[in-house]
Structure 1
Amino acid sequence: MDSPDAPLNELQAFAAVAQARSFRQAAARLGVSPSALSHSLRGLESRLGVRLLNRTTRSVAPTEAGARLLATLAPALADIRRALGEALEAARQPQGLIRISAPRTAAQAVLSPLVARFLQAHPRMAVELVADEALVDIVAGGFDAGLRFGESLQPGMVALPVGAPQRFVVVGAPGYLAAQGEPRTPAELARHRCLNLRFPSGRPYRWQFVQPQDGRGFEVQVEGAFTANDQALLLRAAQDGLGLAYVQASLAAPALAAGHVRAVLDGWLPPAEQVYLYYPSRRLQPAGFQAWIDLVRADAAG
C-alpha cells in the first residue's frame, strides 16, 4: 500500500456502489459508465490494500472493512455536498460578510452612505468596516476590499472611484487666528502651532501644498505641541484653540459652517483627489461582493 490517502472521486464511487448495491445504478447516478466505476473501485482497493466490496454477477455488498468505511464516509460526503451547495448558493445569492479596510475620515465621508444602502437592499449580507490609517495589505489582512486615495493604491488592484473627490483644508479657531495672525503662505507655518497627524507606522503626515503660480506640489513638515492619529481629534484641538489643523474638508464642514473654525491658505491647497475602492481580482466574485461592486459602480456613474 503506497498511502492511506484516496482521491475524493474514488471515495464517492465506492459510497455510491455500496449504497446502491449495484454498479449499474451507481454509474447512472454518477453519470459514468459501469466499467469506469469498476476501475475506480479497483484502484481504491489497491491503494488501501483491502477489499471493500464483495461482487458476484448478481450482487454487490460491502465487506466488513467496506461497511466500516461507508459508515464514516457517508456523513462526511453529505457534509461536503452540503458545503458545496452553500458555496454555490453564495455564488448566486448575495449573502455573507464583506470586510473593508479604510481610513476613518474617508470611510465616514464616502463609504457609510453606500453601506447603509447596500445592507437595506441585501438583508442577508453583513459588512465589517475596519477604520485604519495604516496602508494595509488587504490580501494578507483578510479583507475583500480597501479604500484609499489614488496615490496609495496597491499595485495590480482593480480600482473603482467612490463618492465625490475629497479635498483638504487648513483650519484654526477664530480666537487663535486673532491672537497669532493668519498665515499667508505655507512658509509662515513655521511661526504657528500646528497639530500633527501621525500614521500607525510612526511617520508624521507632511502637509501637502501647491504653488499657486504653476501648480507644482510640495510638502511642509510642521511642528506643534499636539499630535494624534485621528483627524477628528485634530479638528477638535483646532476648535479649542490649540493651533492649526490640516484635515479633510468634509470633516471640517460643520465646524466651518458654525464658525467654530476658519479656513486659511485656501489658494495653496491641492485640488480635490478621488478616493478609490480597490480589490484583487475581477474573476468569480461571490454574488454578495459583486452586488457591492455593482452598487459602487452605479453610484459613481451618478
Structure 2
Amino acid sequence: MDRTLLPHLAIVLAVHRRGGFAAAAAELGMSASAVSHAVRAVEDHLGQPLFARTTRSVRLTEAGVGFIAMLAPAMGEIADAVDRFGESSGRVGGVLRINAPHVALPLVMTPLVAEMSRRHPELVIEITCDDGLADIVASGHDAGVRLGHTVAQDMVAVRLTPPFQAIMVATPRYLELAGEPRDIEALQQHNCIGFRFVTSGGVYAWDLRDEGGAHVSVEVPGTVRVTDALYARELALADVGIAYIFEPLVRAELREGRLRRLLPRSAFEEPGLFLYFPRRAAQAPKLRAFVDLAREMLEKEASGQPEPR
C-alpha cells in the first residue's frame, strides 16, 4: 500500500462521520479543499468513488460502505493502541466519541460528562445526539447509548441507569377540560402527543400493559407528533395533550403537581439505558475511565448517596 495514503484514511472517516467535507474540515482544522484532495487521493488509489456528492449532500457509495466497514475497526484499533501506550503515565486523554439518543442526555449523560471533564481535563468528550440505531463502529464512535433490549449481542454492554417505566402524563388543566382516561381504550378520545422515528419514518405505537398485564401496542390519535421525547414533555406542560415519556424525565413535574400520571397500571417497564462498545475497545484508557465512573455513579444512586461534585 502507498504509505502516503495513511494520513488520508482518517480524513475519509471524518467525512463519513460528519456527513460532509466542510464539517470534516472544521473538525480536523483543515480547509475543505484539502479534505476533498485527501479523499480524492484515496478514491484514485482504490479506483472507485467512496462518496456520492451533490450540492446538498454527501453519502457513501456502495463501495464506500464496504470500505468504511473495514477501515473503521482498523483505525479504531490504532487509536486504542495509542491510548493504551499513554496509559503508563496515568494519562486519560484524546477524544472519546459517544453516540447517544436525546433522552439519554438529561437522564444520565450530563452528570457523567460533567464529572469526567473535572477528573480528566486532557480528555475531549464528543457527544453525537442520534435517536437512530447507529452503527458506532462504521461511524467512528468509541461507544453508544441505547435501551438494553436494542444492544447487539456482540457488543459489551454496561448499565448506566436502573430500569424505569414509560408512563403517560398530562397537566391538571388538560384533564380538567378533556377528562381523565379510565382505561387504555379511552385514549382514543384524547389528544395524544405522538412520536415519529426519524430514520424509518414510522409512527410509534405506545407500549402499554392491559388489565391482565399483557403487553399491547396502541396506536393513538393526536394533533401533534414530535421526533424528540423531551419536546413531548414541553408540549404536555403547555396543556396540548397526553405525553408518553420515560418517568425519570418528568419526576420533578410529577412531584410538583405540574403533571399528573395516568393509568399507572398500564405503564411499560423499560430495561434502562446501557453504554455499549466493541469488545476490542474495552481496554482503551479513555473508555475504561468512563465505564468506571458510570459504575461508580450508578452504585451511588442505588445506595442513595449524592453524585460526585
> Do they fold alike, i.e. is TM over 0.5?
yes
Following the alignment from structure 1 to structure 2, what is the Cα–Cα distance between the partners of residues 127 and 264?
38
* Farther off after superposition, 137-146 or 258-267: 258-267
Contact 1:169 1:263 in 2 (8 A): yes
Following the alignment from structure 1 to structure 2, what is the Cα–Cα distance between the partners of residues 179 and 236?
18
- 1:202-233: CA deviation from partner (whole Å, max 9, x where unpaired): 111211111343x3211111121111111121
Alignment of 1:83-94 (within 5 A): 89-92=85-88, 93-94=91-92
Q: Does 1:206 align with 2:205?
A: yes
Contact 1:163 1:299 in 2 (8 A): no
Identity %: 32
Letter in 1 for 2:235: A
- 1:95-131: CA deviation from partner (whole Å, max 9, x where unpaired): 1111111111122211211221122111111111122
| Cα distance, 1:283 vs structure 2 | 5.7
Alignment: residue pair count: 222
Contact 1:94 1:286 in 2 (8 A): no
Alignment of 1:244-263 (within 5 A): 244-263=242-261
The list of structure 1 runs, each at least 4 consecutive aligned residues, that deviate by more than 6 angstroms after superposition, is: none
Q: Is there any run of 5+ residues in structure 2 with no aligned partner, and where?
A: 4-78, 301-309
| Cα distance, 1:287 vs structure 2 | 1.6
Structure 1 residues 181 and 87, CA gap change in structure 2 (3 angstroms):
closer
Alignment of 1:87-166 (within 5 A): 89-92=85-88, 93-166=91-164
- What TM-score, normalized by structure 2, do the two folds share? 0.66
Q: Does 1:295 align with 2:290?
A: no
Following the alignment from structure 1 to structure 2, what is the Cα–Cα distance between the partners of residues 203 and 103?
17
Structure 1 residues 283 and 230, CA gap change in structure 2 (3 angstroms):
closer
Following the alignment from structure 2 to structure 1, what is the Cα–Cα distance between the partners of residues 129 and 259?
26
Which of 170, 176, 184 matches 2:182? 184
| Cα distance, 1:181 vs structure 2 | 1.1
- What TM-score, normalized by structure 1, do the two folds share? 0.67
Following the alignment from structure 2 to structure 1, what is the Cα–Cα distance between the partners of residues 84 and 172?
60
Which secondary structure state, in structure 1, belongs to the residue aligned with residue 286 of structure 2?
helix
Q: Is there any run of 5+ residues in structure 1 with no aligned partner, and where?
A: 6-82
Larger CA Rg, structure 1 vs 2: 1
* Farther off after superposition, 140-149 or 281-290: 281-290
| Cα distance, 1:90 vs structure 2 | 3.3
Following the alignment from structure 2 to structure 1, what is the Cα–Cα distance between the partners of residues 193 and 284?
43
